[in-house]
Chain A
Amino acid sequence: MSDLQIEVKNISFAYEKGREVLSGVSFTVAKGESVGLIGANGAGKSTLLKLLVGLNPGFSGEACLFGLPLEKQNLAEIRSRTGYVFQDSDSQLFLNTVYEDVAFAPRNYKMTEAETKERVLHALELTGIPHLSSRQIYKLSGGEKKLVSIATVLSMTPELILFDEPSIALDPKNRRNLIRILNSMDQTKVIASHDLDLILDTCGRTILLSDQTVVCDGRTEEILTDRGLLEAHGLELPLGLQRTAHRPE
């Protein structure tokens, strides 16, 4: 059996005819890898992630997750093994309390109430928010909502988790907490973000998307320290590295 969890070959996709968002995208992700997906605004990061879970049908090329072709008949299995953390937590969370929202997936997968409870408590434990269990979602802060979003995905015990801009709108403390949680996860991760410092701290490998395609795929340290490459594709060195570069003697 292949150790690859994502295999994408020559994928192209357009929302409108003649205006491609992705063109000839190819890459693979092996089990246990943590891969950063970077690119300027509008590079197609979110589109690619949504495509991988079947939310953007009508693409050309080949895509397989867990060895299963990304086709309608396999979507249920692919989705049951893949977690997706949305950019906007308000889209991800729609039930009244934290417990109910985290329990949504286990219940849909026909688990008993006892199993559901166990999964929910474990997911809340992993994200460090068991105290929020009975809280109403609309009363949570942005950082808390993000952690709950991650817990809703962890309760599915997925093998692969796709994160779409996970650090957006988080304050420094919550961001650090998020990085700690991301690093503690064993699952295969693909993190789409233009927060390059986050990618530097959490991903061993990085894929750079630009002009609708993959322009670079390699070790994170090499890509994120290449000022010329980043600037040529509308990005800048991670802030941490910029400060080091400009530190007075």
Chain B
Amino acid sequence: MGQTGKAVHEVHRLEQLAARDQWVNRIHPLVKFFLTVGYLAVTVSFPAYDLAGTAGMAVYPLALLILADLSFRDTGKRLRLVLPFVLLIGLGNLFFDRNLVQIGGFTIRAGVVSMAVLFVKGTLCVLASYLLIATTSMEKLCYAFGILHFPKAVITQFLLTWRYLTLLLEEVNRMTDAYALRAPGQKGIRMKAWGSLAGQLLLRSMDRADGVYESMLLRGYRGDYAYIRETAPLRGRDAAWLLFWGALFVLFRRFPVLYLAGAGIGGLLS
């Protein structure tokens, strides 16, 4: 399978994960959306040198991974594409933050700590966003946006872009496969073929997009994605889930929970 084939597979795999009938998947999309936004805000707000505090925030994605029965290995594989960029952003701190800090009796550059904090923050934020997508379909997410009174046009645009992304990737996959089969032993696509391939891709994906749009029109589509309509109300367990995690985020932000837990365990042992 080529790179684009893998990308298409990944998009479908994400949709498959989101369509599963897991407990976490059944939580109201609005609750999951609020929790993710809240989680990102709290995680990002930790001070630059608070490594223990930031790391404590890992409890939420870890709990979701377990409850949603998602593979740690697959999740790691997906994250590895983004992690180098996260690391790259923090790398500057090594050079610009020249203060010294004491950790466990060692004196090290504060830049190392702030880089680590930035890396942890970035990883956790990407992980939380991934978990939202992996447990909530794009349609349900848009349903949540609808409740929040996002403009209809924006929501429709969002949904159609998601649908057309797959379509575009499938066309790229077909074309690169067709090219590779007629250019054995050649690595990648030659520069001189790029122009016509891009033109063909545009025409073919427009054709397919036209077909999809016609199919939508003939099945009652009037510019309003009725698909995002959902009748499931917010239930007690959704509210409980929101309150539980909301309180936990505040707790982790206000108190050094990991430090206190470590000190408590240390005290018990001594």
Binding site for B on A (CB under 8 A): 50, 53, 55, 76, 79-80, 82-84, 86, 88, 90-97, 100, 104-105, 107-110, 112-113, 134, 136, 138-139, 152-153, 156
Consensus secondary structure, chain B interface: helix
In the complex, which range does the number of interface residues on chain B fall in? 20 to 34
CA distance A156 to B221 in the complex (A): 13
CA distance A94 to B159 in the complex (A): 11
Contact B19 A97, beta carbon cutoff 8 Å: yes
Contact B139 A100, beta carbon cutoff 8 Å: yes
* Given contacts A96-B19, A136-B12, A108 and B215 within 8 Å (CB-CB): no
Contact A88 B211, beta carbon cutoff 8 Å: yes
Contact B215 A91, beta carbon cutoff 8 Å: yes
Contact A107 B208, beta carbon cutoff 8 Å: no
Contact A107 B229, beta carbon cutoff 8 Å: yes
Residues in A neighbouring B139, C-beta threshold 8 A: 96, 100
* Given contacts A96-B19, A100-B139, A105 and B220 within 8 Å (CB-CB): yes
Smallest CB separation, B209 vs chain A (Å): 9
Residues in B neighbouring A92, C-beta threshold 8 A: 211, 215
Smallest CB separation, A80 vs chain B (Å): 6
Question: Is B137 located at the chain interface by the 8 A CB criterion?
Answer: yes
A94 CB contact (under 8 Å) in B216, B220, B226: B216
Question: Is B227 located at the chain interface by the 8 A CB criterion?
Answer: yes
Binding site for A on B (CB under 8 A): 8, 12, 15-16, 19, 137, 139, 163, 167, 208, 211-212, 214-222, 226-227, 229-231
Contact B16 A136, beta carbon cutoff 8 Å: yes
9 closest A-B pairs (Cβ-Cβ)? A91-B211, A108-B220, A105-B219, A96-B15, A107-B226, A94-B212, A108-B226, A92-B215, A84-B218
Residues in B neighbouring A156, C-beta threshold 8 A: 219-220
Residues in B neighbouring A86, C-beta threshold 8 A: 211, 214-215
